[in-house]
Amino acid sequence: MKSELAKLVSQIPNSEERKYFSQEMDGFYMLFTRYLDEKAKGKKLNWDKIQTPSEEQIIPYATIPETMAKTDLQKLAVLKLNGGLGTTMGCVGPKSAIEVRDGMTFLDLSVRQIEYLNKKNDVNVPFILMNSFNTDEDTKRIVQKYATHNVDIITFNQSRHPRIKKESMLPVPRSPSSPIEQWYPPGHGDLYESIFNSGLLEQLIAQGKEYLFVSNVDNLGATVDLNILHHMVETDSEFIMEVTDKTKADIKGGTLVDDDGHIRLLEIAQVPDEHVEDFKSVKKFKIFNTNNLWINLKAIKRVMEDEAMELEIIVNHKTTPAGEKVIQLETAVGAAIKHFKNAHGVNVPRTRFLPVKSTSDLFLVTSNLYSLTHGRLVINPDRMFSNVPLVKLGDHFKKVSDFLSRLKTIPHILELDHLTVTGDVFFGSNVELRGTVIIVANHGEHIDIPSGTILENKVVTGCLRILDH
């Protein structure tokens, strides 16, 4: 493997580009050798040592004092993880460019939030995007439209690692310019390596920034929270992970655990098969990681320079379009919690976790359940229940284009508990859904929900065609 990587590096003529590519390959090789070492030792998680976190390790958000102190904002930078594509929702290009509300994309909303934060508090919080090679070019073009906005936008790229052939354990690409599908971005755990190697970490520290708020670009609930920021400053904590109560929908999400007295992130991929049901249990592990993280920048520098940032390896098995079995070695950004002093979780309200992973999520965030204020989604005060409805839209709605064509307007759902829609279904305008509504068009059937319909605790099946005349 080492000689194959050296061959790749030697093919780059430009010395500056070669140096950067060499750093990426070094990072990959360290991950690879650690993977081989763990595999050889048959290293397995000692489940008996895994316990529910203590009260000191997870603090309820309600116990954090409210603050109006704005001075902490001067030392803050905000980073969005922007490496993903919109392919699962049938879109081309970066996921952050998908329109999610009132004609605005994830990026538009984030920029609007930071712009308002800066204007309101007379500060300059920079907005940083960590792109992958999949999203970098498009994102750089898109952010040009914010040039006149009151926000400094910085982009940098996470590493590019070669996929590994499962049979030979050698890299798939034969040259640095090999096709894009022979490489992969190694998960968001690569943030530390990339922000350090790019020089951006030094740049932020030189500007007087001390704290970094990190979140997924598709989490519309991840807004700057002064209370958490001030709590971090007051408790001298180097790392805070926002967690929230687990529901049946979140059983696969990573959770914070006590491992022999130390706090750490545990992902489902690391759990031995015989303990997966324990991991999913809402009784033992009541919370999960939202991936909203608050990290001390100087502490990142210390860990990167003085210690080894050894994040648990997540092995991702893939098959190429040509049928070749390959391996990707990835890490999670939250796994670094074990490396930082006074690190702990804060159990936040569910409103801080509003991810849009599917059109079912899009259905919720575009509905009258929320309104938009300065780029933030605010829950409608007329909603009587504290929980968000459970929405499951079938495969006919999977792509954003299909979703938009099947809904003349998004139904009113203030009183909805549960919605399941499967099959060839179309909604007219101003439909209202209440309680539990299940709409099933079986194969060969078609259902039109007429404009102005109110469905309350109803099951709709069979065939219903309504033609405009």
Please give the positions annotated as active site. 357
| Residue where the block lists tokens 């430009």 | 14
| Residue where the block lists tokens 């759990």 | 271
Distances from the Cα of 264 to the Cαs of 55, 137, 271, 340, in angstroms?
A: 15, 35, 13, 11
Task: Please provide the DSSP assignment of 287-338 as one string.
Answer: EEEEEEEEEEHHHHHHHHHHS---PPPEEEEEE-TTS-EEEEEE--GGGGGG
Please state, in angstroms and rounded to a whole number, the distance separating the CA atoms of residues 95 and 89. 9
428 close to 464: Cβ distance less than 8 angstroms: no
Please state, in angstroms and rounded to a whole number, the distance separating the CA atoms of residues 209 and 169. 42
DSSP, collapsed to helix, strand or coil, labels residue 349 as: coil
Residue 278, class by beta-carbon neighbours within 10 Å (0-12 exposed, 13-18 middle, 19+ buried)? middle
Amino acid at site 172: V
Please state, in angstroms and rounded to a whole number, the distance separating the CA atoms of residues 94 and 84. 6
DSSP, collapsed to helix, strand or coil, labels residue 177 as: coil
* Type and span of the H or E element at 197: helix 191-197
